[in-house]
Structure 1
Amino acid sequence: MKYIIFDIDGTLTDTTEIDDHCFTRALSDTFGFQQFETNYGHYENTTDSGIIDQLFRERNGRTYTLAEREAFITHFCVLLEQSYAQDPHHFREIRKAGKILTTLCRQETVSIGLATGGWRQSALFKLQCAGIDITGCAAASFAQDAIARRDIIGHTIRQLNEKNRYEAPLSDIIYVGDGKWDYQATCQLGIGFIGIDNKKIAHLEDIIRLTDYDELFRHIDVAALS
């Protein structure tokens, strides 16, 4: 059995721009942070939990508390909801992502998981807005589960192993993502990587890039079902 694990922002949902906008505003509104790096790919851990942890340590000499985390998530989700009400266009799916996910979830030879650097609440909201059904996914991990992306992906792998009562070889695990941090995490874990073609991974060599989700089946050795 193969494991195919998907990132969310920029991979399943076309929400990276609005997510970054609301995240930046929530950092300022909730914690009073000003004049911080908003190119979030520059942080040690490009996850919601990792970014906040780094900013807290640099500015306050400590990490965030659970109460601070929950206050941030609540406000962040309110901002996302307000943005969706104003312009749903910012919450689209990546073309064909929902169809591919549903098709893969019907396969008996694969087990599908999610692993995102975003919070559970915000991730589920964006998927819902984009019309992507994840009920067939066997496992999912979010920023609440770890700070480093490799650990979030690892959490999903462990869930899949427990769900399937099977320990998949690393060679049979593929992560689909859209950022260099996704690729780096897969290298650290020793699993495969397939990238959604965009400028963030344009500099990476010798990787599989998808310009259309229909191409995915050619690279995972799984037949497409109608």
Structure 2
Amino acid sequence: MKYIIFDIDGTLTNTTEIDDLCFTQAIAATFNFSDFNTNYGHYENTTDSGILNQLSIERRNRPCTVTEIENFIDCFCTLLEAAYEKQAGHFQEIPKAGKIIDTLARNEDLRIGLATGGWKQSALFKLQCAGINIEECSAASFAQDAFARRDIISHTIEKMNKRHNESPELSDIIYVGDGNWDYQATQQLGIKFIGIDNKKLAHINDIVKISDYDELEQHIGLMTLTS
């Protein structure tokens, strides 16, 4: 049995640009922060919860309260909804992403999961806008579950293990992502990584990269033979 776990922004949905824009606007509106680093890949944890926690500690010497996080999520999702009404083209799927989820979910030798650094509410909204059905996914974890991406992925693995009463070898777990932080998380966990071929991963030469989801099944098959 193999687990295939997907990131969302930039991996299943082509929403990274609009997500970053609305996230930045929500930070300014909710916390009244200004002049903060909007290159979110430079934060210790490139997740929504990790970024907010780091900013709050740096600016206010304390973490966010539960109420503050809830207010932020409400503001962020409102901004995303408004953006979708005006620019639905920014909420499209990565070509063939929905199709590959459906295809893999029908394979009895695979289990499908999601692990994203985004909030549950915003992630589900973007997937819905992109027309991607995740009903067949075994488990999903979000920014609410942890600050660090490795811990979010681990949370999904634990949920999948519990649901299916299985515990596959680490070599049988594959994470599909689009960022260097995704790759680093898999290195920390000791699981395999398949990257979406883009400039964020251009400097990493020793990984499998795909430019089309038609290639994914082939690489999973190669991994099956060599694991």
Structure 2 length as normaliser, TM-score?
0.97
Establish whether residue 29 from structure 1 lines up as the match of residue 29 from structure 2: yes
Establish whether residue 188 from structure 1 lines up as the match of residue 226 from structure 2: no
> Which residue does 1:141 correspond to in 2?
141
Query: Which residues of 2 match residues 149-160 of structure 1 at below 5 A?
Result: 149-160=149-160
Determine what percentage of the aligned residue pairs are the same residue: 67
* 1:81-106 residue CA offsets vs partner (Å, 9 max, x unmatched): 00000010000000000000011111
> Which residue does 2:75 correspond to in 1?
75
Query: Which residues of 2 match residues 25-174 of structure 1 at below 5 A?
Result: 25-174=25-174
Distance 1:221 1:62 in 2: 47
* 1:101-133 residue CA offsets vs partner (Å, 9 max, x unmatched): 011111110000000000000000000000000
Tell me the SS of whatever aligns to 1:41. Answer: helix
> Which residue does 1:5 correspond to in 2?
5
Q: Partner amino acid for 1:133?
A: N
- Kindly state the Cα deviation for residue 220 of structure 1 after the two structures are TM-superposed: 0.8
* 1:159-210 residue CA offsets vs partner (Å, 9 max, x unmatched): 0100110111000000000000000000000000000011001001210000
Q: Partner amino acid for 1:207?
A: I
Structure 1 length as normaliser, TM-score?
0.97
Distance 2:186 2:30 in 1: 32
> Which residue does 2:17 correspond to in 1?
17
> Which residue does 2:225 correspond to in 1?
none
Segments of 5+ residues of structure 1 without an aligned counterpart are: none
* 1:67-91 residue CA offsets vs partner (Å, 9 max, x unmatched): 0000000000000000000010000
Distance 2:217 2:75 in 1: 39
Distance 2:205 2:99 in 1: 28
Distance 1:9 1:148 in 2: 16
Provide the aligned length of Structure 1 versus Structure 2. 222
Distance 1:30 1:12 in 2: 28
Tell me the SS of whatever aligns to 2:217. Answer: helix
Tell me the SS of whatever aligns to 1:45. Answer: coil
> What RMSD, in angstroms, separates the aligned Cα atoms of the two structures?
0.7
Distance 2:5 2:39 in 1: 25
Distance 1:149 1:25 in 2: 23
Distance 1:105 1:32 in 2: 43
Q: Which has the higher helix share?
A: 2
Tell me the SS of whatever aligns to 1:113. Answer: strand
> Which residue does 2:211 correspond to in 1?
211
Q: Partner amino acid for 2:37?
A: E
Segments of 5+ residues of structure 2 without an aligned counterpart are: 223-227
> Which residue does 1:201 correspond to in 2?
201
Tell me the SS of whatever aligns to 2:132. Answer: coil
Distance 1:160 1:131 in 2: 24
